[in-house]
Structure 1
Amino acid sequence: MSDHAADDPPAAEGTRRLTTQEAARLLGVKPATVYAYVSRGQLSSRRDPVGRGSSFDAREVEALAGRSRREAAGPPGELSVHVRTSLTLIEADRYFFRGVDAVELASRYAYEEVAEWLWTGSLPHGARFAAPPEALAAARRAVAALPEHSGPLDRLRVAVTAAAVADPLRFDLSEEAVLGSARSLVPTLVGALPEAAPARVGDGRLAWELWSRLTALDPDPAALDVLDLALALLVDHDLAASTLAVRVAASARAHPYAVVSAGLGALEGPLHGAAGRLAHRMLTEVLERGGAAPVVAEYLRAGRRVPGLGHRLYRGEDPRARALFGRLEGLPQAGPALGAARDVATVMARHGLHPNVDLALAVLTVSCAMPAEAGETVFAVARTAGWIAHALEEYQERPLRMRPSGHYDGPRPPRPLP
C-alpha cells in the first residue's frame, strides 16, 4: 500500500527551494516521476505562492538523489534488493502469479483458490479454509481482552500470536505442515475479529465471513464478489516492505505464525499500511463537499500527498485498481463513491498520477458503510496468504542468507572510556 507524508514544517529562512524541473534534473527523472515521489512520501512539496507549480526543499531532493545513487551502486556486503522468487512478476503495467495474469485469475477464481495457486501451483476448484476450534477460541479470547479502541492490525497481531500458541506443531517447517497452518490461520484471523453484524449462514467463502466483520449491512452477492475480488487481487505483490520482513524472518527459520507477525508489524508502519484509511477519509470528504477540487486543493496547499494515486511499479493505472473499478461499476450503491474517485483522478491527471488499488478499495469501503480502517483489514487478511507463499520459498533457501553487513560511519576507535 501507499505511504503517508506528514505536513511539512515551515521552511527555515534561507532554505533553498527547487522547481519541479530543477528537482527532476537533479534526480535524473521526468517531472511526473517527481510527483510520484511525493505520492509515495519520499519527497514533500509546497505550492509556490508566486508561481503556479510546486517547489521542493533542495536538501531533501539532494538526499534522495544520493540514496538513489548508493542503492544503484550496491556496496559490498549490503543486502541485495533482488530476491529470487517464482511467485509474482510485475512488468509492463501488469502482474502475474506463477506466470498467469493475476487480474484474470482473480476475476475468475475465489480468494482461497488463488491462494492455493500461489502456494502449490495447483488450482483446486471450490477450495475452502476452516479454522480449528481450539485456535479460533484462543484467538477470540485474546482479541476480546484488548481495549475497545484497538485497531484491526492490533487485533490481527494478537490473534496470530494466540493461534500460534494453540498449535504445538508450529515449528514443523515441512511444506505439508506449513500449508496446513496457512489454511487454518487465515480463517482464524477473520473469525477472531469482532462482528459488525450477526453472522449469517453463507457459502463458506472467506469473503462471506469477512463481510460481517466489516459492515452491519446485509451481505449483497454482488458486493461480496467485489470483496472476494479485492482479496484475490491483493494476495501478493512482489517484495513490498512487509513481504521483505517476512522473508527475513523465514530466513531465520521463524515458524509461519511468527512470519505473519513480522509482516503485520511492517504493515502497521504509516508508510505502508495507512493509505486505505486515508483514501477512505478523502472520498468521504469529497462526497460531503460535493466535489474533489476543494479537497485536493487543501491537500496540495498543505504540502500533503493526495492518497490513492500513483504507484512506483506502474507507469499507468494500477491493474488492481482497474479491475476493481470495473467490478464496482455493476454495484448501484457504489455510484457516488465511484464518481468521487474519478473526480479526484481527473483533478490530479495533470500530475501524471493514476488511481491505485487503495483508491479503488476505498470506493468499496465507503459505498458499503465500512469503517475507514476496513481497507487495512482487507489488505492484511489477503496478504497473509502471500506472506506464507514467500515463507515457503525462503524455507528452501540457505538459512540466514539475508544478513547484510553494517557500514559503520561513527567515530573511529580507540576513544577514551566515557
Structure 2
Amino acid sequence: MRDQEPAPHGPERRLSTKETAELLGVKPETVYAYVSRGQLSSRREPGGRGSTFDAAEVDALARRHRRESQVTQAVGAEMSVRTGVTLIDQDRYYFRGVDAAELAALHSYEEVAEWLWTGRLSPGVTFTAPEATAEVARRAVAALPEHAEPTDRLRVAAVAAATEDPLRFDLSEEAVLATARILIPTLVAALPPRPHARDEGPLALRLWGRLTGREPDEASLRALDTALALLVDHDLAASTLAVRVAASARAHVYAAVSAGLGVIEGPLHGAASGLAHRLLLDVLDEGSAVPVIAAELRAGRRIPGLGHRLYPGEDPRARALFALLEHVPRAEPALLAARDIVATTARHTPLHANVDLALAVLTVACGMPATAGETVFAVARTAGWIAHALEEYGERPLRMRPSGHYVGPRPPQPAPQ
C-alpha cells in the first residue's frame, strides 16, 4: 500500500473505506485491491483505526468506471475489458509487462503461473494436490466412457474437485490462489496414466505421463514445460471471456474454470492443434504437403496452424517453441513437414506458422495422440483463467452483462393458438 501526503494547498476531504466502497459500488476488500494496483492512494490518520481516501481521487475513479461501463454498452460484442494480465502488441505479448516468451524461456510453468497471479516469482515452486482431492477427481473421470475427450475429463475433474472443497465459495484472493495451486495438479492427476507416468515432480513431468507412454528426455520435457508456460494466457480469448463472465456473476473458481473448458472445444480455439496434428500426419504419409493442402482447399477447409489475427507477422509463441523443437529427438520429420505446409501455402497466401502448428510438431514427435495439444492448452490456460477470475472478483458484480439488440417481431403480437 502506498501512502500519500496531503496536498499543500487547502484541506482535502477524506473518505472512510466504507464510504469509498459505497461510492464505487464494490466491497471494502476491492477498495484495497485498487490501492495495490495503484488506482487509489490511502492514508492512515493519526489515532485512526482504518485507512482514508482522497474524495476527489475516489470520485475520479468512479467517473472512469461509469465511462467504461457506457463504452462497454455502446460497443456490445466488441467490448473492452480493463486488465493488467496480458498485453499483445506488435507481434509480441507480455505478462504483467514482462515479455512472455522470455519468461517462458527462463522459468517453469508453475513459476510463470505464480507471476501471472501475484506479480512475484516463486523460484522452484511446484503445485501439488491433496491425495483426497485427486482421488475424488480420478474416480469421477474413471466413470466416463472410454471414448471421452480430454476436455470432458478435465471438466468432470474440476466439478469433482469442487465438491471436495467446502471453502470453494470464498472468493478472497488468498483462498482463490490456494484453490488454483490445488486445482491445476488435480486436473493432471485425474487424466488416465500411461506407462512411465509419475505423480511427483514438476507439473510438465506429471502431464507427460498422461500424454505418451515414452520415457521423457530432457529436451522434450523442456519443450512441453515451455509450451505450457507460453500458453498460460493470451488476453481475452473466447474461453477467457467466458471465465470472466462467470466470475462477474461470482461463480466460484472451479465453476469459472469449467466455463473456460466448455469453450475451448471449438475447432477455432483449443482444438485447433489437433487439426494441425492430423494435417502433419497426412503430410508425413504422403511425403509432400502439395496433395494434402490441395485436398483441404478443395474441401473448402482452412489450413490449420497458419496465421493469427492478433499477429500480422510471426506468432511469438510458435517462434519460441520451434526453436526448442530443433533439439527434440525424432522431431525432424515433423518439423520438415511443418515447413513444407508453410511453404506450400505461401504460394497462394503467405502466412506464418502459429502456435497450433508448433504444438502439433511437439505432439507428433513425442508419440502423443491428436488430442494431446488440446490437453496441453487446457491445463496451461487454466492458470490464465484463474488470473482473470481474480481480477474480475475485484470488479463490480455482474458488469459483464451487455444488453441485447432485439430484432424480432414488434409487440404486441397475438398469442399463438
TM-score, normalised via structure 2 length: 0.81
Count how many residue pairs are aligned between Structure 1 and Structure 2. 345
| Counterpart residue number, 2:118 | 120
Q: Give matches, 1:222-233, under 5 Å.
A: 222-233=219-230
Output the CA distance in 1 between the equivalents of 2:196 and 2:328: 23
Secondary structure of residue in 1 paired with 2:76: coil
Deviation at 1:414, TM superposition (A): 1.1
Q: 1:135 aligned to 123, 130, 133, which one? A: 133
- 1:93-172 paired onto structure 2 within 5 Å: 93-172=91-170
Q: Which residue of 2 aligns with 1:87?
A: 85
Task: Give SS of 1:348's match.
Answer: helix
Specify the structure having the higher radius of gyration (Cα).
2
In structure 2, the residue matched to 1:267 is 264
Q: Is the 8 A contact 2:199 2:206 kept in 1?
A: no
Matches within 5 A, 1:11-410: 76=74, 78=76, 81-200=79-198, 204-350=201-347, 351-410=349-408
**Residues of 2 paired with 1:75 and 1:385: CA distance?**
29
Q: Which amino acid aligns with 1:192?
A: A
CA distance in 1, matches of 2:317, 2:205: 21
Contact 1:115 1:386 in 2 (8 A): yes
Cα shift at 1:303: 1.5
Instruction: Specify the alignment match of 1:39 in structure 2.
Output: none
**Alignment partners' CA distance in 2, 1:197 and 1:235:** 27
Counterpart amino acid of residue 259 in structure 1: A
SS in structure 2 of the partner of residue 76 of structure 1: helix
Displacement of 1:249 in angstroms is 0.3
CA distance in 1, matches of 2:362, 2:346: 22
Cα-to-partner distance string for 1:242-282 (whole Å, 9 max, x where unaligned):
00000000000110000000000111223322211100000
Query: Match of 2:408, as an amino acid?
Result: G
Query: Displacement, 1:352?
Result: 2.3
Amino acid in structure 1 at the alignment position of 2:87? L
For 2:259 and 2:358, the matched residues in 1 are separated by 26
* Percent identity between the two aligned chains: 70
Which structure 1 residue ranges, 5 or more long, are not aligned?
Answer: 1-72
Deviations along 1:270-308, one digit per CA (max 9) or x if unpaired, are: 332221110000000100110111111111111110110
Asked whether the equivalents of residues 79 and 402 of structure 1 are also in contact (C-alpha less than 8 Å), the reply is no
- Kept in 1, the 8 Å contact 2:212–2:368? The answer is yes
**Which structure 2 segments of 5+ residues have no match?**
1-70
Higher alpha-carbon deviation: 126-135 or 241-250? 126-135
Higher relative contact order (CA 8 A, sep 6+): 1
Q: Displaced runs of 4+ in structure 1, greater than 3 A? A: 73-77
What's the offset of the Cα at 1:79? Answer: 5.4
Cα offsets for 1:23-71 (capped at 9, x unmatched): xxxxxxxxxxxxxxxxxxxxxxxxxxxxxxxxxxxxxxxxxxxxxxxxx
Change (3 A) 1:349 1:397: same
Q: Secondary structure at the match of 2:94?
A: strand
SS of aligned partner of 1:89: strand
Residue 133 of structure 1 and its aligned partner are, at CA, apart by 1.3
CA contact (8 A) 2:153 2:191 kept: yes
CA distance in 2, matches of 1:152, 1:75: 36
